[in-house]
Structure 1
Amino acid sequence: MSFLPVLPLPLVIALAVVLPVVVAWLCYAACRTLRRAPRLCCVSLAWLAALAGCMLLLNPGSVSLRPSSEKPVWVVGLDVSASMRSPVADDADAPSRHDVARRAVAALDAAARNSGRDLHWLALSDAARNCGSAAALTETASDAESSAILSSTAGAIESLRRQGRVVAGVMLISDGRDLRPRSWQTLVGRAGAAGCSVHVLPLGAHWKEPDLSLSTSRPLVQAYVGVPTRLSARIDNTRMGNRQLLVELLGPDGSVLRSQPVESRDGEASDVSFRLENAVGEYRMRVAVQPGESREDNNELRFTVSAADSRIRVFLAEGAPYWDSKFLAQYLRAQPVFDVRSVHRLSDERFYHIDSGDDDAEPSDTPDMPTTLEGLMGYDIVVLGKGMDSLLDEEAVQALTAYLRDQGGIVVMARGRCYAGRLEGMEALEPFVWGSGVGAESRFVPTEEGEQAGLFSQVLPGAADAVWKEQPPLDDVRDVAELRPQTRVLAAADGSGTPLLGIMRCGMGAVACINGEGLWKWDFYPDARERGNLYREFWRQFLPWVQTAAEFFPGFDLSLHPERASVAAGEGVTCRLGWRGGARPGRVLVEAVSLADGKRAALVTAVPTASSGLPRWEAAIPPLPSGEYLLRASVPDHATPSPECRFTVRRAPGEADNLDADPELLARVAEATGGMQLSDPLSEEQMATFLALPPGVSLIEEDFTPLWTRWQVLAFVVICLGLIWLIRRRRGLP
C-alpha cells in the first residue's frame, strides 16, 4: 500500500483527527431525541464515513513497475561524404576513413545487442538519413558531394525530441570535414536542450589527392613601353611524382605563343615565367592534365595585360653623389618608360641637373628641388640618395609627407638612410628604425614575404634562384632595431637576416628603402653582366612594381580598390575609389566584365562618401556567378585613364577542395557537450560509457493505481450514510 496525499500530509492528519470528531458530535446533536442505542449507532456510522473521507485524502493505492513509455534512444551518426573515401592516415596504402568507420559501427551494434539498447542509425551528409539498422548504415557508400554533418546531426536530435523520444547520447563518426563549420554551435545548443552528450570518433589526417595546380599572385599586369612583361606562375605538385611538364602560353587569339619544359618534383613547387615584349590583352597559361590527377579545373590561368599610356615620371635627388646614384640616373634616363629629372649636389653652392634626353649636365647655383606639394605632384616616384639634410628642410619634409599620405606618391630611398644627422619629420617616413651599428658586406637574398608580395618569383627571380648568390654583396648595411608598422621585408641579408629591402604603406602612398650601397657593382663587373645583368632588370621591374603598393597608378587620377580580391559565390564586394585630379567628377562608374566571354556582368554607379581629403566613392558590386572578372572604373565627363583590377568569385566549396581531417572541430563539440573524444578501435569501456543511461533517465517507470476508484470504497460510505438515514426515518426524524 502506498499513499500519494492530495493535500500536505500534516493537514491530512489534522483533518483525520478533527473531522470525524466534529461529524460525530454534529450527528450526536442531531439525534438527541433518539434513545441511546440508536443514537450511538448513528454517531458511529457518521464517524466511520468521515474517517473514510479523510482516508481518501491520503490517496492510498498500489504501485506496480512497467517499461517506460519514453524509451531512451542512442544516436549513431556516420559521415558518408566523399572525403571519407580518403586514407585514414597520410599514406596512400592506409585503409579509408569509411572502412574504419564501418568497423566502429559494427562494434557499436554488437555492444547494443548485448545491452538491449535502442540505437538510431543515421547516414550524415547534407542531411541526416535514418538507415534503420547498422547493417544498412555500413552498406551506405561514402559518395555524398557535400557535408553538413553538424547541422544534420542537430536536426536529427530536434526531430527525435519532437517525436517525444528521449535522446540519451550521440556518437558522431566523421573526419570533421564540414562545409559549414560554424554550425557546431547549433549542434551544441540542440544537444544541451536534449540533455545529452555528443561523443566523437575523429578519423583521418592531413591528406591531399594527387594533383597539379597553377597559381599566380599577379593575374593583372601593367605593361610599360620598353619594359618586358613577365607572366609568372607557380606549379604545385601534390603526390604526382617527379615528372617533366610542358607549360604553354596562349595569346589573345588562343594560339600557343610559347612553351617551356619544367621539372616538377613530388611535393614541391616549381616556378615558370614567360617574358613578352609589347604584350597587351588576355593570355592563358596551361599545363596538360596528367593521368591520375584528381582535379582538372586548376591546370589553367588567365592573365590580363593592360598597356600603360604614360611614362613613369621620376625625380632623383642626390646630396652625396656616389656610384650608385650615377649608375641609377644613367640607366633610368636611357629607358623610354621613365621620364627622369635629377639633381646632384656637388657642394653647398654647386649643383647640376640632368633630365631624360639630355646628354650633358646643367650646372646651377640652386638645387631646384621640388619642396612643395604642387611641385612633388608632378612626379610619380621620388628617388632619394644620401645627404638629404642638405637639400630638404622641415617644410619640404612636410610637403613630402603630404605627397605620400594624401596624394598616393611613391618614395624610394635608394641608398638606405638618406640623411646623416637629424632631419625633422623624416624618421616617420622610413620603413626601418635604424640601429647604431653599420654592418659589413651582406648578400642580397629575397624573403618569403617578398615572393608572396609578387616581386620575386613573379617579376624577378625567386629566392631559390642561384643568381642572387652570384651577385656582389652590398656595402654599408646598417643595423635595423625594429620595423615600423605596415613594413614588409622583401629581401634580407643571407645568414644574418638583416632587412635589405623593405616597403611601408604610408597613407595612400608607399616608401621603399634599400638598406645598403653597392648595387652598381651588379652592372659594373663583367662577370655580373655575364650572368644576365640583374642590376638593370632589378630597377626596370622594381620601380613599376613598387607602385602597386600605393593607391594610384602612374598617370592615373582615379583609383580603384576592391575590399577583397576574391569572394565566395553569392557574395558581393565593395569597391573604394579615390580622385586626385582637378574638378571633382559628377559621376563615377564601375563595371565588371567576365573574362570567360568578355560580356559586361554588372554596371554600378559609385556613391560619394564623406572624406576630409581627396574625393572618395564606394561602389557595391552585386553577387555574380563564379568566375574571373575584370573590374574597371571610369569617369564619363573626364578624359582620364580607367584603372582596372582583377576580381574572382569562387565557386561553392566542394568535398575535393580540402580533404584534410579536422579533429579539432569534433573535439570542440565533444568538450562543449560533455562528451568523449574516442579513438579507433573502440574499447569496451568506451562503448559502455556511451551506452550508459544518463542521470534522470530510466528504462522502467512506476504505475500507481489509486484505491478510491474501487466501488467498494464508495459503497462503504454510501451504506454508512444510508443506515443513518434509515435509523432516523424509523424513529420519525427527517
Structure 2
Amino acid sequence: MTRMENVTQWNLIFTGLEGFGLRAMVFIIAIAILFFSWSSIKNIRPVSRRILLFSLRLAGTLLIVLLLFQPHLEQKEVLKLKNKVVCLLDASKSMSLKCGDIAVTRAQLLDNFFTENDAFFKELQSSFDVNFFTFSDIPTETSYKDIRTGITPDGEDTDFAQTLKYLQQRYKDDNVKAFFLFSDGKDTVERPANVNASEVIAGIAREFSSPFFTFAPAENMEARDVALSSISYNTFTFARNPWKVDATIKVMGYNNLKLPVTLKEGSDIISTKVITANEEGEYNVTLSFTPYKTGTFLYTVSIPVQPKEAITENNQVSFLVKIVRDKIRVMHVCGRPSWDERFLRQALKNDPNIDLVSFFILRTPNDISNASNDELSLIPFPVDELFTEVLNSFDLVIFQNFDYRPYDSPIYRFSYYLSNIETFVKDHGGGFLMMGGDLSFTQGGYDGTSIEEILPVYLTSGKDLTETAGLRAALTENGQRHPVTTLDINNDRNLSIWENLPELDGCNITTQPKADAVVLATYPSQGEPPLIAVRDVGEGRCMAITADSLWRWNFLSVGRGGSNRYYMKFWQNTIKWLIKDPLFNPIHITINKDTFLPQEEVQVNIKVLEKSYQPWEGVHLEIDVTNEFTGKSIFINKGITGRDGQYTFNFKYEEEGFYIIKTIAKNESGEIGQEHTVFNIMKADKEFKDTSIERELLMKLAEVSGGKYFNLPQKDIRGKISIENPPITKLVGKKQISLWDKGYVFVIIISIVSFDWWIRKRSGLS
C-alpha cells in the first residue's frame, strides 16, 4: 500500500461495568438517589440555596457514575491509502513480430499506446498505486519510466496460467481494483488436444475480484507469415519400411501461393510435394520415404520464404529420427534341395527376428510343359519381381548352390538382375552371401559378372575346381578374433571349439582373396583355399562360404551327444555382421544424449576395434564437430585411443542447431575408417511456431472478470475505462488515556461532598 496522509483520531470509551443491564441499573439507582435527594431539600428557603444543594448532589452523583464506568480517551494513528492497479506487458519473443505490412512491431505498438495515453496513466498513478510488470512465463516488476523507454521482447515462453497464479499470490491481501493486460494472447504451454487454453485461463480469472482490461493488436495487424505450425512423426522407425511425417502449414497474409514442401535427410532432398494455398488458413501435407540404413539421422521439413514475411525461423523444422530394424528380411535362393539347405533354412525360420522368403529352383523357363502355368504346382521363379520391385525391401540375399544361367536368356536377362544385386549392396547397404556347391561360384557361371565384383574372392575363369577331401575348417589369425567366427568369448575355448567341429565334405576352389577382404577360415588342403571370407563393399557387406556341408556342424554334433548351439551361433554372427548390426561396427561414437541446452556439456566417447574386433590401441583420431546446415566447424580435436580402444572428450557450445561429430581413424598404414553421429543444441522456443494473435483468449479473460477488451491502437482511453476507487484506511497505532483513576477526580468528589455538608450546616439542616 502507498501512503496518502497520516491522520490522528480521538475517541471516548468506557471500560467499566460491562454489559447493558448493569449499566442500566446504575443509571436507575442514580436517578432514584437524585429523586430522594430533591424530595429532602424541596422545602429549603431561599430557592437559590435549594438549587445549589441539588446541583452539588447532581454533580457528585454523575462523577460517581462516571467513576464506575471508567472513562478513557483513545488516540488512533490512521493512514489513508491508495487502491492498487496492476499493468502487465507481454515481453515474449512473439511481440517482436511486425504488424502486417507496416514497419511497426507488436512491442512498438505498445510503446505508441503509452505515448498517446501518457496523460491517462499519469492521472492513474496520482489516484492509484500502479504496479508495472513485464511477463513471459513469470512476471518481472518494472517501472513506468522503464516502460516508457521501451521493453525488449525476448521471453522464450508465454504462460498465462502461471502469470495469473503469481498475481493471485502476490495480491491476495491487497485492494487491487483493476488489471491492465497488454499482449498478443499467444500462450505457448503445451496442453492435451481436448483442453482449451482460453477455458483454463478463464477459470483462473474467475477467482479474481477485480476486472481485467485487455489490449491486443487489431485484426489488420496480423503478421504476414507462412509457418510450419506443427509436425507429427514417429521418433523411431524401421529400416526398409515406409516412414512419414505429417506437417501443418499455416498461411497468414497471403493468397494464391504455390508452396513446395520439402523433406531432407541431412542436405539430400528425399521427398517433395507442392500445395496450393488459395487463401489464409491451415493446410496439411504428408511426406514419406523408405529408409535403408540404421542409426540416428537428421531430417528437415522446409517451405520457401515469402516476400515481406514477418519471420523466417518457422519456415523449417529439423528433428532426429532413430532408424532400427524390425525383423531382418532375408531372401534365400537355392538351386536344389540339400542337407545344407535344409538345416540353414530351418535355422532361419526358427529365428523370431528373421522374416524369411525362400525359393527352391525346381523349375526353370527352359522346362517344357504342355499345361498352363495355372495348372502346375511348381510356379516359375518370380525373377523380375524379386530383383527389381522388392529387392531393396530385404536386408540380406543368400545364393545357395544357385546357377543363374538358365534365366540369362534374352527374355529373362538375369545378368541384368545381378547388377541390381551389386547396386543393392554398394548403394543401399544390403548384405550378400554366396554359399558353395556344384552350382555356385565359377560352377554357377559367376566369374566375370557383377557378383564377382562384390565377392571377397576372385573366381577361376570357367574351370570347375573343387576339393572333395573331408577336412576340418582352420581359423586364420583374423578369424580367431572376428565376430563372425567368435563362438566363445574366450579365445582358447573358441580355438578348441573350431578344432573339434565335425569335418566338412570339401569346398569350391577360388583363386585368391581380394586385397580388402578378410579370410576368416581356410580349408586345410593343398593351397589352403578360403573357406569363409568377408568384405566391405560400398555401403554394404559380402561373404563367401565355399563349402556346402556346414550342416554337419549341426547334425553330427548332435549325433555325438553334443548340441547345435555352435552352428546356430555361427549363423547368428554371420547375419548380424552382414546386415551391419551396430554392435559389429568397428568404429563407435556415443554421446550421453541427443539434445542439449546451450552451454550444456556434451560427453563423447569414441571406440575403435580392429578387423578382428578387438580394442585397437594407439589409433589416431581426427575429430571435427560441424554445423549440419552451414558446415561451420565449431570444435576440432585430435586424440589417440587407449588400451581399451577408446578416447573420450567433452565440450560445450552456445549456438542452437544440429551438429555432426565426425571422426577419421588412422594408423601408420593410413586411414582405417570413418564414423559420424548427430546431436542437437536447442532451447524450447515455441514463440514463432504460430504467429497469429489469439484475441479470443484476451476477450474471454476480460469477459469473465467483468472487464473490457480493446484493439490497438487506442489513442484516447481516458473516457472508456471506469475504475472504482473507494477510500481505505489502515490503523498503524493507538493508545488509551485513563480519565477516572486520577487524583483530581477524587478531590472534586470530596470537595462537592464537603461543600454540601457546609451549606447544610449553615442552613441548620441535619
TM-score by length of 2: 0.39
Q: Which has the larger radius of gyration?
A: 2
